[in-house]
Structure formats: C-alpha cells, structure tokens
Structure 1
Amino acid sequence: MQQTALGYGSALLATLIWSGNFVVARALADLIPPWQCNFWRWLVALLVLLPFAGPHLRQDWPGIRKHWGYLSLMGILGVTLMNTLIYKAGQSTESLNMALLVPTAPIVILVFSRILYGEPITPRRLAGVLVVLAGVLILVSRGEWQRLAGLKINSGDFWALGCALCFGLYSLFMRRRPQQISPLSFNAATFSLGLLCALPFTVAEACLLPLPRLSPALITGVLYAGIGCSFAAFWFWTLAVDRIGPVQAGIVYYSLPVFAAVASVLMLHESIAPPQVLGGLLVIGGILVATLAVPRQRGR
C-alpha cells in the first residue's frame, strides 16, 4: 500500500508540474525557437541532476553501456522529440486544441499495453477513461460545445499529437528499464543521449534563425521548464511508473487539464465557470474509477 500510494502521489506531482508547461510553451513561443528552447531546458535539467546522479552513474555504468540502445530510444522519445513538438505546437495552435490533444497520451499507453504486453482493458478501466474524457471535453470547452465544433485543424495540432504519441511510448517503454540502472542514472543517461541527438538540429536552427534575446521572461521560463518540468517531474514520473505501472500512471495524467485550469486562475486570474467545475469533478471521478481496485470477496 505504501509503494502504491508513493506511485500515485509521484504521478500527481509530475502532472501538476507539467501543467505549467503549457503556460511556458505559449509564453516562450515568440521568444525562442522550439529546438533551442528544448535544448537549453534539458541542459539545465542535466546540470541540476548530475551532482545527485554522479555516484550512481559510476556504479551503474556496466548496465548503461550494455543497454545504450534502449537508453538512446528513451532519450529520443522523452528529450529530443517530445517537448520540441509541444513548443512547436505552441507556435501555431490554440491552447484549447493542445489541451484536447495532449491528454490523449494515456489512450496510447492503454492501447499499446494491450498490443505489446497483452494487458487487459477491463470494463472498469475503460469506463473510467470514458468518464475522464467527458470531463476533459467539458473542462476545456467550458461547456460551450460550439467552441469544440468551431475548432480548426492546423499543423500545430499534428505536432501536439506527436507529443502525445512520444509521451505514451516513453511511459510504456519505461517498464523495460533494467533493474541494474537506478532511476537517477536512467534519467542522467537519457537526458545526455537525448541532448546529443538534439544537438545537430539545435545548431542548424541557430544558424538559420535569429538568435533569441535574453530577457527575464525567457530565463524564468527556461529555468522552470528545466528544473521543474524536466528534472523534478521526470524524476517523479519514473518513480510512478516503477511503482504502479504506465497504464495507471497514464490515467492519473488525465488530471493535467484540472491543474492547468487551477493554474490559470491563480496565475492569470482567469475565471472558472460551473461547467468547468463539473468537468474537473468528472476527471477526478474517472481517475478514481479506473485506478482504485475493487476488493475481492473471499469465498466461504
């Protein structure tokens, strides 16, 4: 029970921190190009992580060297591509579109868990997912269905879907993390390999586009993304997947729009309509339905 509680708590903390990433993506869209934003974000995260991971890296080096292919794949999915795609999406799509598309990642996890690992999609879990999706739709549309009908598909929506796909696969493949590689070593290795893969694209973008100008908003956004969304959130997410598995952690991830709505009230002083409260309650209720186990009655 303690390990399960730690898993769900870690998934909630990671999701809470990631909810601020949408604000950062929108705020930095005009200040720095996506590849450079992503590169500096992860470089900050790696520099913060190394003092903690150093002793573990020396101990886990044989396992890292043996599984470098797997670690490279995880680095490409989680570091090179995922957030570059969301920053790219933030340049050309509405926040409503992003809020609708990015939370589809748990569906990717659910489907591929069935295909690759034979994990059953139980009626209870499916019902919980459907309730959560209904809550997300109400939450992001404020109960005004014409807003959903008026949405237009653009290139940014495909970038957001790409982000959701990368996150779903990253979380799914997390269960294959070799046990001889600690979470700190795993994150340090994937951060490094992901940065290495992103370097050529970052250099090319810097040569083709004007260099960003330093400003308090740019520095604050990159530091929040690096220390919060990358270092802290990915640490919590690794713990969550280790303890409760990618499917259960992915369902908790559905609470992201709820945290994003709360953040918009606290930070941007936006108002919340009653339909959004209903949507938030449905999201929370659906998560509880899908994740809480039903105790089995013992036979007489």
Structure 2
Amino acid sequence: MQKTVTGYSCALLAVVIWSGNFVVARAVAGLIPPWQCNFWRWFIALIILLPFAKRHWRTDWPAIKKNWRSLSLLGILGVTLLNTLIYKAGQTTESINMALLVPTAPIVILLLSRILYAEPISPRRMAGVLVVLVGVGILVTRGDWDRLAHLRFNEGDLWALGGVLCFGLYSLFIRQRSADISPIGFSLATFALGLLYSLPFTVIEAVMLPTPHLSTPLVISVLYTGIGCSALSFWLWTVAIDQIGPVRAGMVYYSLPVFSGIAAKLILDETVTPAQMVGGALVIIGIIVATVVMPHRRKTDTLQQRP
C-alpha cells in the first residue's frame, strides 16, 4: 500500500509540474530554437542534481559503467529527443492538435507493454482508457465536436507524435533500470549522456540560426523547465515507475490536460468552460477505473489431508 501511494503521488506531482511545460512552450516558441532550448533546460537540471547526487555517485558509478549502453538509450529518448521534438512541433502545429496528440502517450505505453512484455490489457483497463479519451476529447474541443472535423494535420504533428513515441519507449525501458543505481544517480547519468548526444546538434543550430535575445520571460521559462520539468519531474517519474510500473504511471499521465487547463487559467487567465470541467471529471474517473485495483475476497481452499 505504501509503495502504491508513493508511486501514484510521485506520478501525479510530476504530471502537475509537466502541465506548465505547455504554457512555457507557447511562450518560448519564437524566443529560442528547439535544440538550444532543450539543451539549456537539461544543463540546468544537471547542475541542480549534482549536489544531491554527490553522495550516491561513488556507489552508483560501477553500475553506471556497466549499464552505459542502456543509460545512453534512455538519455537519447528522454533528454536528447523528447522535448526537442515537442518544441519543434510547437513551431508549426496548432495547440488543439498538440492537446490531442500528447495524451496518447499512455496508449503507446499500454500497447508497447503488450507487444514487448506480453502485459495483459484487461477489459477494466480498456474501459478506463475509453472514458479518459472521451474526457480528453471534450477538454480539447471544449464540447464543440465540429472542431475535430476541421482539424488539419501538418509537419508539426509528426514531430509531436515522435515525442509521444519517445516518451512511451522511455517509460517502458526505464523499468529495466539496474537496482544498483539510485534514482538520483540514474537521473544524473541519463541527463549527462543525453546532453552529450545533443551537443553536436545544438552547436550546429547555434551556428546556423541567429543568437536568441536574452530576456526575462526566456530566462524564467528555461529555469522553470530546467528545475521543475526536468530535474524534479523526471526524478519523480523514475520513482513512480519503480513503485507502480509504467502502465499505471502512464494512466496518471492522462490527467495532463486537466492540469494544463488549470495552469492556463491561473497563468494566462483563460476561461474554463463547463464542458472542460465535465471533460476533466471524465479523465479523473477513467484513470480511477483503469488503475485502482479493487480488493477481492479470497476464496478459502479446503485442505484435504492425505492418508
């Protein structure tokens, strides 16, 4: 029970912090190119983690050296590519398209878990997914289903889908993390490796494009994504997957549109409609249906003594 509460709490807190990332993404779309934005947010996250990881580094280092290939893969998926693709998508796609595509990550996790690990998809879990999808649809359309008929998919949507796939694979492969590596040591290693692999692309982008203008909104946005959305949230997500697994954590990720709407209201003063409130309620109900395991009465077996 304690592991379950810890896992769901960490997953929920990570999603709450991540919800602000979409507000930030809209704010910095024209201020800084995607590779540079992604690089600096993870560089800040690495600096933030260093003091906390210092006491774990000596014990984690042998396992890190042994597992550097798998850590590199996770670093590429979660650090090098994931948010770079999302920032790239934000330059050319509409916000409603992004809101529809990003919450599909748990479905990707669910399907890949079935394909790669033969993890069953129960009717109850599928029913919860369907309820959540209806809720997400109401949230992003504000109850006006005609908006779906006028959607136009473009290049940015493909970048967004690439980010969704990266997050799904990251959440699945992270379950293979060596038990000899602490969550903080794991985060530090993947952050450093992801930054290393993104450095050549960041340098090329910096040479080819104009230098971003340093401004207060840009600094605040990068600090928020570096400290909150990167250092803290990815550590919380690692703990969550350790405790409850990628599929259940992925279900909590469905609540992202709910908290994104709250963030948009608080920060951008956007209007919250009754349809959005209904959609948010359905998202929460669907998550409960798909993830909460109801206690079952155990049948008592009659023990027969052998002669």
Give, in whole Å, the separation in 2 of the partners of 1:74 and 1:110: 18
Partner of 1:5: 5
- Rounded to whole Å, the distance in 1 between the matches of 2:113 and 2:57 is 30
Find the aligned partners of 2:147 and 2:140 in 1 and give their Cα distance.
9
How far apart are residue 262 of structure 1 and its match? 0.8
1:54 partnered with 2:54: yes
TM-score, structure 1 normalization: 0.99
**Runs of 5+ consecutive residues of structure 1 not aligned to the other structure:** none
Q: 2 CA distance for matches of 1:225 and 1:137?
A: 27
Number of aligned residues: 300
Give the aligned partner of residue 25 of structure 1. Answer: 25
Cα-to-partner distance string for 1:264-284 (whole Å, 9 max, x where unaligned): 111111111111111000000
Matched, 1:217 2:217: yes
Q: How does 1:197-236 map to 2 (within 5 A)?
A: 197-236=197-236
Matched to 1:241, the amino acid is I
Write the distance in 2 (CA, Å) between the matches of 1:102 and 1:85.
12
- Aligned-pair distance for 1:148? 1.2
1:91-126 CA-to-partner distances (Å, cap 9, x unmatched) read 111111111101111011101111111110000001
* Large movers: runs of 4+ above 3 Å: none
Q: TM-score, normalised by structure 2?
A: 0.97
SS in 2 for 1:20: helix
Task: Report the AA paired with residue 292 of structure 2.
Answer: L
Separation in 2 of the partners of 1:20 and 1:173?
25
Are 1:95 and 2:95 matched, yes or no? yes
Question: How far, CA to CA, are the matches of 2:36 and 2:272 in structure 1?
Answer: 34
Distance 1:221 1:182 in 2: 29
Matched, 1:74 2:100: no
Q: How does 1:135-214 map to 2 (within 5 A)?
A: 135-214=135-214
**How many angstroms does 1:169 deviate by?**
0.4
Q: Counterpart amino acid of 1:81?
A: L
**Offset from partner CA, 1:226-271 (integer Å, 9 cap, x none):** 0000011001101100000000000000000000011111111111
Q: Which residue of 2 aligns with 1:266?
A: 266
**CA shift at 1:299, angstroms?**
2.1
In the aligned structure 1, how far is the partner of 2:149 from the partner of 2:228? Answer: 35
- 2:303 aligns with none
Q: Which residue of 1 aligns with 2:249?
A: 249
CA distance in 2 between partners of 1:294 and 1:51 (Å): 41
Q: Please, what is the CA RMSD of the aligned residues?
A: 0.7
Structure index of larger Rg: 2
Give % identity.
67
Q: Which runs of 5+ in 2 are unaligned?
A: 301-307
